[in-house]
Structure 1
Amino acid sequence: MKNWFKENSAHLIVIAIFVALVFFYFTPVWQGQTLAQSDVVQAQGAQKEMFDYKAQDGKAPLWTNSMFGGMPTYQIWSASENNIGTYILAAVKTVFPQPIDIVLFYLLGGYFLLSVLRIRPWLAALGAIAIAFTSYNFIYIEAGHVTKAYAIAFIPPVIGAVIMCFRGSRLWGPVLLALFMALEIRVNHLQMTYYMLIALMVYVIFALIYAIRDKKVKEFFIASGLQLAAVIVAVMVNASILIPTYEYSKLSTRGHANITKVDASKEKGLDKQYAYEWSQGVGETLTFLIPNAYGGGSSGVLDEKSNVAKFLMSTFGAQGMSNVQAAEIASRMPVYWGDKPFTSGPWYFGAGVLFLFILGLVIVNNRLKWWILTTTILILLLSFGKNFTLISDLFFDYFPMYNKFRAVESILVIAAILIPLMAVLTLNELITKADKIEKLDKKVLYTFIGVGGVCLLIAFVPDLFLSFKNKDHAQLVESLTQQVGDQNAANQWVNSLIKDRSTVATTDAYRSFAIVLITFLAVWFFIKKKLSANILIIGLAVIFLFDLWSVDKRFLNDKSFMEKRLVTSQAFQEREVDQLIRMDKDLSYRVIDLTTNPFSDARASYYHKSLGGYHAAKLMRFQEILENQFNGAVNEDVLDMFNVRYVITGDEQKGQRIQRRSSAAGNAWFVDQVTFVKDNAQEMQAISSFNPSKEAFVNEEFKDKFNGQRLGVPVNASIKLTSYHPDKMVYEYSTPTEAFAVFSEVYYEKGWKAFVDGKEIPIIRADYILRALQLPGGNHKVEFIFDPESHKLGGMLTLIASIILGLGLVAAVYYSVKNDKTKKAIT
């Protein structure tokens, strides 16, 4: 054991340093505070009903009625009890609470990748810091994109394990690939996993080329086979997540449209305009080097010292505006002037890191260089989206599954790994081969002139290269003109904003030049043998950490935290209208909150069964109802069929009001007439204006489940909900003849089953999205039970694969210890 500690002392010290770094960055967490993340708050609203029943029953229901009329809960949270990754993540989180665990995973994952590349520990630690502290890694955390952050953290170790396999590791390589890939999939952000696979696809192509050239094709296919087996195990470990999600995706906005559109390209996957909405601007790549070149974040950048604040005080100070008010208004001004709708901050990789990356393109003589360069260029082109459609459209239209994802700029997370990776390879090349690189001093100097020169040009003459205006400039002037009633004042206001945008760009340009200069001098003195390798590494580690840390603190800092109890109480403060509505003890009425955009806000779901909600992949049928029945005006008939009894209106200034709707159809009802329509378009048109309590529209595809000859008019009939559970609802009814009942519950064919007195009967879809049953006459009990086969199959496969992966880890450790003892015995 003593020998083990001695042999791994450098790694242990590095890990201890990483722990110290996350401790100091997130001191509020250790003081009992937590992040007030918008996406996490939305998730809490969406999950409230589910977790209430989990606390009551000991397990979470598989369906929730708190959003969009109803949807599977495994799309908003999954326990995955049989998944080995669940317990690994939980164990780490027990010691290192969120978001400390995320950044620790960032650091350890980067360090593992660089260690696989046989980079010395201290240099690998420098690289891990550069990878981990890239700006968007922290912006995602601040915004609450937690699953995305976890997925990013596991990308480097997956890449490292793949490299191990191709280098001939036939035990640890596949086992670690299975483990890291299982964790990557477990955190459940398939978009990040998909982007990682694009990068690995390019790597495998290069590996095959080199295998053919080196006449090692057999070894390539052996390594590929082992990796395929590892990936299969990793996928099976996550079968309980993947199988239900795949099943759901086909019925969601990620799948086929149900109503044929003129543009056939929109029938499958996301709308291209929607997917490209957040595209990286071509010119915005400048932020890789100068963080605030495009203004930084959309708001919160300016203060009382800004030109905007000074203008406001000089113009409106006499009318009573205070310095505090001027600063508050200035802080809300859109300093970001790129073409994204809005942004929390820039993609910043570090000025010194980018200097070394570009230098590496000149001096590194390594096979990885060409993979890194090729992949980085591809990633950059794809991130441009609508701003450079030549490549993006090819992938969107023809590359499998690429059109399932939005916010294409997110693919830059791969560049945020590869650029620091090249920077470390550059330093490694300098340390190990400086004497063998021809004209090294000139290459270093020219790179500095090029990178530093860009910084100085932006610092000295920013207006020559940057306009500091975007496409919404005229609308901004018009909006301010309406506010102040004076176009001249509005123009002066906007001109002050432009000056501020120029100032923040200039300030950061000087800052980046200083970082580039220090990095250049450190490298220069090293190649001139004035600095040792250790001093070079330690010095650059400090510089890079200071650089990235200080930029990250602009977006994720102590002000981002608050007391845990306050996060929930402030986000979900119960209003008087909520209290009044909750006095209604009916089991199933719904609420729509029009004080906000109800279909992109889950706060109402915290207290009510909301028709609205927040989720990136609604059921396609619900989305189509929004597009056709809530486009411009609210269809009252559709509210009736969804049993929307309460509408919340008003605003923050005037307060909220409740509208009680007496026309809501109830949780279930018998209809007098069933009308068949030939397709989905006619069905959608039919519900545009109808009385849901009297007539139901049914697609002809359900004719074989319907016997109209036995159907009678439900005279003196009644039906009521007697027991409510999100995934099990019980109704009792009485009708003298067979009747057609419509239930104000979302139709989802993959899991819901209906039983009359214990005997299963077919569920019919009515009114485009609701469940309906043809019920026999008499007094009977109806049960709806949600028990999807995909969930059961996935759980079984997950358990089997987790056992296999666990045994693989044990075997790898056993044989490693055994081989180590054998080597020591021989020596």
Structure 2
Amino acid sequence: MSNWFKRNGIHFAIAGIFLVICFLYFTPAFQGKVLGQADVTGAQSTTTEIDAYKAKDTTILWTNQIFGGMPAYQLWAPYKANITTHVVHAMKVIFPNPIDTVLLLLLGTYFLFIVLKLNPWLAAAGAIAFTFSSYNIILLVAGHANQASAIAYFAPILASIILTLRGKHILGGSLTALFLAMEIRANHVQMTYYLMLAILILAGIELYHAIKAKTTGTYLKSLAYLGGALIIALMVNASILWSTYDYGKDTIRGQSNLTQHTKEPSTGLDKDYAYQWSQSVTECFTFLVPNAYGGATSGDALDQNSATAKVFIAKGLPEDQAVKYANQIGGFPGMGTYWGTKPSTSGPFYFGAVVCFLFMLGLIVVKSRIKWWLLATVVLTMLLSFGGNMPFVSDLFFHYFPLYNKFRTVESVLAVASLCFPILAFLAIKEVMDAPDTKEITKKVLLAFYITGGLLVVLIVLPEVLLSFRSVDQASGTAALAQALQNDTATAANISSAIVKDRIDLERADAIRSLIFVAIAFGILFAFVKHKINTTILSLGFLALVLVDMWQIDKRYLKDENFADKQESNAPQPREVDQFIQRDKDPDFKVFDMTVSQTYDLINPFFHKSFSGYSAARLKRYQELLDSHFSKSINHDVLDMMNVKYIISQDPKTQNVNLQNNQTACGHAWFVQHVKFAQNADEEMQAISSFSPKEDAIVDQRYKSLIDQKSTYLDTTATIKLVNYNPDHMTYQTSSTTSQIAVFSEVYYDKGWKMFIDGQETPYFRADYILRAAQLPIGNHKIEFIFHPVTYYAGEDISLAGSVLLVLALGFAGYAENKKKPADKKA
């Protein structure tokens, strides 16, 4: 055992260094503070009801807190049978957020570089380069925890696949199963999809070389082990994948129910919506020069020396106020320091000046076929990231590749490129270390320096040759600014010109900075090839250089000020109207707030069951309802049928928030007098544009067989009451002297909800486009709606079996590897 520690002591030392780096960078997290992440707050608003039941040790798979009601799969579910759930939980118990994710990034990438046979210090430098690439840090600030976790498993998955392809089938296959299971458990399908594209390219290149070398048998054997690993990983995550797949068909990413007068595409996302966050072609200069496109859309990038501030100072404003106005100008279209096509951005994709220089060197010196895999992946991901800015490749994927049209924010595919860059970069250093011909390698190092340095010189001396520094809507923004300045077009024009100058200054300053780092990196390599330093100094030099490079830029986006005490980062404080509504002890009614976006409501779900909400996985049928009846005006009949009991509005003059008690709300359930059949979804949607929900039910004709209108008569004394509320188990009591048609103010979703009358399962149907309805018999009855989705519960059984297989595979791999090594001598 003591020999084992000696052999692996360097790895433990580097793990310790990683922990020190995390402590120094994320010191507030170790002090109990948390990131004040906007998206985390939004996510918390969606799980208010779920968290309340968790506190009572009760799991619910349906919540009525947002959008009238929806499955909880994409918000939170326990997935207890999945072994990776417990691994993730253990990490979070040991390390505070976001340290757990950062350590996964560091250790996983270090493992990849060790597999690629880099020395430990160089591997550590590569791990730091990828971990602290700006996109990963920006994700942590924004609170995209699932996405950051999914990216953290990229490197160890690739490392495990490479091990398998090298012939370490049992170890590589078992580790592939583990890390792929962890990747899927992160539940960010988009990131996993992008990684799969890179893996497919790798598999294709390996197949080509296997055919060329006539080793297809060995290749297919490796592929078989990887196929087994994939099956185990899928089994481990069966409940997640099955539930997500089944639910996904009914979300905004699924097929449209309408054929006319709809904003929704027939299937997948609207292309303009999917391409909204597309990378501009020349925006890729940010890989090398972070402020090439002006940085983030919000922030304090300009100071008193900026050209924009000087315009205000010339107008007689105090210096501090001039700086404030200079940074607020970005509120006008195209007038901020960021001048790209994205609606907003928290920062650029910065891969590192040192990494970009070494990547260029890698293209020149690396001879292994891994270079072509990395280059092909980088080219593809860059083309896909351009989205609407260069759509010929993106459109091909959007229209013909499975699932691709389900994803938005296409620029995020560059997360894969951000790993490919440092892989090739540090393989280049290894190639320099192993090069027998000093003279030849010196020429190649010089060539990479001339190319990278020359580009930076152009970006310093003549930046407008490559970049325009003018946004597409600069003219409209200038006009809007002139109007705000009481038609002072001259000042508006001066400010617009000053903004362009400031953008150039920001770019030039960062280009100079990058040139310095590239020059130092070149100096280290040149000193090595001239035998002035050894491999250890070279490796440690790059570790320190990369850390400083990435640290400085990352601190622009994740500072100590981003952390706050836990109580400061909690939910927003309730307004007076919220406090009034909370006095109502009715367990199930909705609140409609006219002061917020109906698809981006981060306030009301904290306090009430909201008609609106925030979720990228909301039901498509509900989105269609919002588009048809709330985009231009408010359909009060729909509010009534959804049991919206309170309506919040705002006085446009005084800005006072007002509360209205909706006296016509239909309640939890009610009996209707008439059933009107619609031929299709379009007719059904049109019918609810103006109707009396308490008297009429609009029902699709497909449910006609479930209704016996001849036996249905109006009973004015009939009653139906909600007697027990649980999001997963709603219980009603009815009493009537005739058969009645009941409508429930609960969202219809047939994949899991079952209705029982006195314990006997009975069919029900959809009414009023979005609600549940049923024909109820004469007499007094107990009506129950129970949510018990097979996809989750049967999926959990499969997950348990997969988890057992994974543990056995890892145990056998450990045993097999240990058996290969000579037994340690007793101390």
TM-score (norm 2): 0.96
Work out the CA distance in 2 between the residues paired with 1:458 and 1:212.
45
1:760 aligns with 2:761: yes
**CA deviation map 1:397-455 (0-9, x unaligned):** 1111111111111100110000100001000000011x337733232222212211221
SS in 2 for 1:317: coil
**CA deviation map 1:652-698 (0-9, x unaligned):** 97332112211211111111100111111111111111111111111
Specify the code of the residue in structure 1 equivalent to 2:16: A
**CA deviation map 1:741-782 (0-9, x unaligned):** 111100000011111111111121001110001001222221
CA-based RMSD of the aligned residues comes to 1.9
1:367/1:328 CA distance change after superposition, 3 Å: closer
SS in 2 for 1:267: coil
Work out the CA distance in 1 between the residues paired with 2:740 and 2:325.
67
2:199 is matched with: 200
Alpha-carbon distance, 1:266 to partner: 2.7
Alpha-carbon distance, 1:212 to partner: 1.0
**CA deviation map 1:39-73 (0-9, x unaligned):** 110111100111101212x1321110000000011
Q: How does 1:411-422 map to 2 (within 5 A)?
A: 411-422=413-424
SS in 2 for 1:40: helix
Alpha-carbon distance, 1:264 to partner: 12
Work out the CA distance in 1 between the residues paired with 2:644 and 2:100.
42
1:337 is matched with: 339
Report the identity percentage: 45
Work out the CA distance in 2 between the residues paired with 1:265 and 1:61.
30
1:814 aligns with 2:781: no
**Structure 2 stretches lacking a partner, 5+ long:** none
Specify the code of the residue in structure 2 equivalent to 1:251: D
**CA deviation map 1:604-648 (0-9, x unaligned):** 111100011111121110111111111211211111111111121
Cα contact 2:3–2:824 (8 A) shared by 1: no
Work out the CA distance in 2 between the residues paired with 1:85 and 1:401.
25
1:16 is matched with: 16
Work out the CA distance in 2 between the residues paired with 1:326 and 1:387.
31
Query: How many equivalent residue pairs?
Result: 820
Q: How does 1:79-98 map to 2 (within 5 A)?
A: 79-98=78-97
1:369/1:824 CA distance change after superposition, 3 Å: farther
**CA deviation map 1:288-308 (0-9, x unaligned):** 110000001001032442332
Alpha-carbon distance, 1:822 to partner: 5.8
1:314 is matched with: 314
Work out the CA distance in 2 between the residues paired with 1:131 and 1:227.
25
Cα contact 1:301–1:331 (8 A) shared by 2: no
Specify the code of the residue in structure 2 equivalent to 1:608: H
Work out the CA distance in 2 between the residues paired with 1:330 and 1:530.
52
Alpha-carbon distance, 1:324 to partner: 7.0
Specify the code of the residue in structure 2 equivalent to 1:39: D
2:266 is matched with: 267
Work out the CA distance in 1 between the residues paired with 2:388 and 2:796.
40
Q: How does 1:228-247 map to 2 (within 5 A)?
A: 228-247=227-246
2:180 is matched with: 181
Work out the CA distance in 2 between the residues paired with 1:791 and 1:257.
25
1:353 is matched with: 355
Work out the CA distance in 1 between the residues paired with 2:659 and 2:312.
39
Q: How does 1:208-607 map to 2 (within 5 A)?
A: 208-260=207-259, 266-305=265-304, 306-315=306-315, 317=317, 322=321, 325-326=324-325, 329=328, 334-433=336-435, 435-436=436-437, 439-485=440-486, 486-568=488-570, 571-607=571-607
Work out the CA distance in 2 between the residues paired with 1:379 and 1:268.
24
2:34 is matched with: 34
1:264/1:206 CA distance change after superposition, 3 Å: farther
SS in 1 for 2:231: helix
**CA deviation map 1:74-119 (0-9, x unaligned):** 2101211111111111112222111011111111111111111111
Task: Tell me which moved more, 484-493 or 155-164.
Answer: 484-493
Alpha-carbon distance, 1:559 to partner: 1.0
Cα contact 2:309–2:323 (8 A) shared by 1: no
Cα contact 1:742–1:766 (8 A) shared by 2: yes
Work out the CA distance in 2 between the residues paired with 1:84 and 1:594.
44
Work out the CA distance in 2 between the residues paired with 1:600 and 1:141.
21
1:28/1:477 CA distance change after superposition, 3 Å: same
2:157 is matched with: 158
SS in 2 for 1:299: coil
Work out the CA distance in 2 between the residues paired with 1:115 and 1:380.
27
Cα contact 1:587–1:721 (8 A) shared by 2: no
Task: Tell me which moved more, 759-768 or 306-315.
Answer: 306-315
1:797 is matched with: 798
SS in 2 for 1:74: coil
Cα contact 2:300–2:327 (8 A) shared by 1: no
TM-score (norm 1): 0.96
Work out the CA distance in 1 between the residues paired with 2:394 and 2:324.
44
Work out the CA distance in 2 between the residues paired with 1:204 and 1:610.
48
Q: How does 1:728-807 map to 2 (within 5 A)?
A: 728-807=729-808
1:622 aligns with 2:618: no
Alpha-carbon distance, 1:494 to partner: 2.0
Work out the CA distance in 1 between the residues paired with 2:284 and 2:21.
29
SS in 2 for 1:171: helix
**CA deviation map 1:561-611 (0-9, x unaligned):** 10011111xx42111110011112222210022222131123211110001
**CA deviation map 1:463-489 (0-9, x unaligned):** 333222111212211221222212222
**CA deviation map 1:478-517 (0-9, x unaligned):** 2212222122222222222222211111110111111111
Specify the code of the residue in structure 2 equivalent to 1:611: F
1:648 is matched with: 648
Work out the CA distance in 1 between the residues paired with 2:649 and 2:609.
17
Cα contact 2:438–2:529 (8 A) shared by 1: no
Work out the CA distance in 2 between the residues paired with 1:262 and 1:632.
13
1:311/1:668 CA distance change after superposition, 3 Å: same
Specify the code of the residue in structure 1 equivalent to 2:467: L
Specify the code of the residue in structure 2 equivalent to 1:313: I
1:689 is matched with: 690
1:321/1:210 CA distance change after superposition, 3 Å: closer
Cα contact 1:676–1:699 (8 A) shared by 2: yes
Alpha-carbon distance, 1:328 to partner: 6.1
1:278/1:819 CA distance change after superposition, 3 Å: same
Task: Tell me which moved more, 722-731 or 439-448.
Answer: 439-448
SS in 1 for 2:34: strand
**Structure 1 stretches lacking a partner, 5+ long:** none
Alpha-carbon distance, 1:823 to partner: 9.2
Alpha-carbon distance, 1:702 to partner: 0.9
Work out the CA distance in 1 between the residues paired with 2:162 and 2:320.
62
Cα contact 1:300–1:331 (8 A) shared by 2: no
**CA deviation map 1:8-52 (0-9, x unaligned):** 011111111111111111000111110011111011110011110
Work out the CA distance in 1 between the residues paired with 2:444 and 2:815.
49
1:634 is matched with: 634
1:47 is matched with: 47
SS in 2 for 1:670: strand
Work out the CA distance in 2 between the residues paired with 1:699 and 1:307.
63
Specify the code of the residue in structure 2 equivalent to 1:564: K
Specify the code of the residue in structure 2 equivalent to 1:370: W
